[in-house]
A and B are shown apart, each in its own frame.
Chain A
Amino acid sequence: AQKITQTQPGMFVQEKEAVTLDCTYDTSDPSYGLFWYKQPSSGEMIFLIYQGSYDQQNATEGRYSLNFQKARKSANLVISASQLGDSAMYFCAMRGTGAGSYQLTFGKGTKLSVIP
């Protein structure tokens, strides 16, 4: 079984500062994928970034980067230069690669508030 843990229910960050959202995972799959999604107050789920378990380098997408530490089973999201529009719920998720494990397992989410 796969499990995602997000220990920060809520976070505050000053505009233009960087913020790290924590995510740890547990799985017995040798190969897996890790994802971060953003859910603004309007409700849609927006894909942000992906990290494969065998990727040698940490993923980056614009202001988003994923700090992947495989031995520690962590996949923290770093948002640089926070903007007011970054205020949202952020979900960490993982997926296995075996048959029947294509679905995403989500953490409980972290609510990020950006302060002007």
Chain B
Amino acid sequence: DTAVSQTPKYLVTQMGNDKSIKCEQNLGHDTMYWYKQDSKKFLKIMFSYNNKELIINETVPNRFSPKSPDKAHLNLHINSLELGDSAVYFCASSQLGTGKNIQYFGAGTRLSVL
């Protein structure tokens, strides 16, 4: 069983479109994250939800809107896609308050905006 799963794995779309990436974790964790990895492989936090509540919201264009329907799911919706949005997006989850708070990552979604 995959612990953190993201869909789709690949997403190719035109500029101006709206798209969503879904993430689900079956680890029973209470916190989920979205990270963006750019073309130089640099990873940066975008958002984090704890028990469905937004706790981290980095400087990200408001075209990006996360939604957490429950603790096990964190989806990312992107409006009016731009060329610069092309990147790999990773979902991760962890359990806060466990000391280590190890984050486990999904396989990533490679978004290409044409």
Contacts and interface: CB of A to CB of B under 8 A. Distances in A.
Contact of A108 (B42, B48, B94, B102): B42
Contact residue range for chain B?
20 to 34
A89 to B, nearest CB: 6
Nearest to B42: A108
A50 interface: yes
A48 B14 CA distance: 37
A38 to B, nearest CB: 11
A103 B33 contact: yes
Chain B binding surface SS class: strand
Contact of B102 (A43, A47, A99, A100): A47
Contacts, number: 61
A106 B102 contact: no
Chain A binding surface SS class: strand
Given A43-B107, A43-B108, A45-B108, A103 B101 contact: no
Interface of B: 31, 33, 35, 40-45, 48, 50, 55-56, 58, 88, 90, 92, 94, 96, 99-108, 110
